[in-house]
């Protein structure tokens, strides 16, 4: 999403899906944009065992980046392509209820709970606003900020946020865009791509095969399927034609996870 050419191509493929009658919901994060704004306002990120701690002050700027810059840019591109995009976060219409997230670790044989500040998980999803928009031919573009019942705001991992929405919407196709062709058994060997996995085959692959940034993407696929989505697929967003191919099964695309 840092490349204007790629963004345009993604939008054209979304337009193509929409023109064929698919009801599309687009969910996004914005890691590079968050990093840029926090550097600009000189807020240093604190990490606890690799997990970013988010202060209330940092969250204000994170929300600016996600809703103001990334969401606004995507809505603009989609509308220029002739669609009717609506920019949202999980806060709108109380679509997503968040809960505070803690990082758990083992220290000297006991479980320790680390406070990550304004970092949350999805507690519940209300799809009524999304369905109202979809029923009226709008395309919701949703970013991963949500509030808890008390009105406290949280930043939520975009992959897990998207998986929760896909599950709640009982999505026919949950597509996760990344920068590789799918899940590889060997990260250095593009021919080692795994084309299809059953949900129960996923768990043993965490660690030996599923590592780093691929972990939340596959976890989100599992979450989406368990909560009601009918299929989940990791595809290469730098090859935007794979979006249309994945939905229409024109050819083997990405890694499909199925029940």
Contact 204, 144 (CB under 8 A): no
Q: What per-residue confidence (pLDDT) applies to 2?
A: 75
Least confident of 51-60, 72-81, 139-148, 241-250: 241-250
pLDDT at 252 > cutoff 90: no
Would you place residue 250 in the very low, low, confident or very high pLDDT band (cuts 50, 70, 90)?
Answer: low
Q: Which residues in the chain belong to E strands, given as ranges?
A: 26-28, 46-48, 51-53, 85-89, 96-107, 110-125, 139-143, 145-147, 153-156, 174-178, 196-198, 232-236, 255-258
pTM: 0.94
Domains of the chain: 1-156 (3.40.1160.10), 170-259 (3.40.1160.10)
Q: What per-residue confidence (pLDDT) applies to 3?
A: 84
Gap between the Cα atoms of 170 and 164, Å rounded: 10
Would you place residue 4 in the very low, low, confident or very high pLDDT band (cuts 50, 70, 90)?
Answer: confident
* Average pLDDT across the chain, whole number: 94
Q: Please write the tens of the pLDDT for every residue from 156-172.
A: 999 999 999 999 999 99
pLDDT at 1 > cutoff 80: no
Helix (H) or strand (E) holding 240: none
Q: What per-residue confidence (pLDDT) applies to 37?
A: 95
Q: Please write the tens of the pLDDT for every residue from 189-202.
A: 989 999 999 999 99
Would you place residue 51 in the very low, low, confident or very high pLDDT band (cuts 50, 70, 90)?
Answer: confident
Q: Please write the tens of the pLDDT for every residue from 30-48.
A: 999 999 999 999 998 888 8
Contact 11, 23 (CB under 8 A): no
pLDDT at 251 > cutoff 80: no
Backbone φ and ψ for 63, nearest 5 degrees, come out as -65, -40
Q: What per-residue confidence (pLDDT) applies to 49?
A: 77
Would you place residue 50 in the very low, low, confident or very high pLDDT band (cuts 50, 70, 90)?
Answer: confident
By percentage, how much of the chain surpasses pLDDT 90? 81
Quick one: tokens of 146? 């949500």
Q: Please write the tens of the pLDDT for every residue from 67-95.
A: 999 999 999 999 999 999 999 999 999 99
């Amino acid at each position: 999403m840092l490349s204007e050419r790629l963004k345009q191509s993604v939008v054209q493929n979304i337009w193509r899906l929409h023109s064929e009658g698919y009801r599309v919901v687009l969910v996004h994060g914005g890691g590079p944009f968050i990093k840029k704004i926090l550097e600009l306002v000189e807020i240093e990120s604190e990490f606890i065992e690799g997990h970013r701690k988010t202060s209330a002050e940092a969250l204000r700027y994170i929300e600016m980046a996600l809703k103001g810059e990334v969401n606004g840019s995507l809505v603009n591109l989609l509308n220029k392509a002739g669609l009717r995009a609506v920019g949202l976060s999980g806060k709108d219409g109380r679509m997503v209820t968040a809960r505070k997230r803690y990082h758990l670790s083992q220290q000297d044989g006991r479980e320790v709970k680390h406070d990550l500040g304004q970092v949350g998980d999805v507690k519940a999803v209300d799809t009524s606003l999304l369905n109202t928009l979809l029923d009226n031919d709008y395309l919701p573009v949703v970013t991963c900020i949500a509030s808890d019942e008390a009105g406290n705001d949280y930043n939520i991992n975009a992959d897990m946020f998207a998986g929760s929405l896909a599950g709640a919407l009982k999505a026919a196709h949950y597509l996760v865009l990344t920068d590789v062709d799918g899940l590889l058994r060997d990260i250095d060997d593009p021919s080692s791509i795994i084309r299809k996995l059953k949900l129960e085959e996923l768990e043993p692959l965490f660690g030996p095969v599923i590592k780093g940034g691929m972990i939340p993407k596959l976890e989100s696929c599992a979450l989406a399927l368990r909560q009601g989505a009918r299929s989940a697929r990791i595809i290469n967003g730098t090859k935007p034609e794979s979006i249309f191919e994945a939905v229409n099964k024109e050819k083997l695309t990405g890694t499909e996870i199925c029940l």
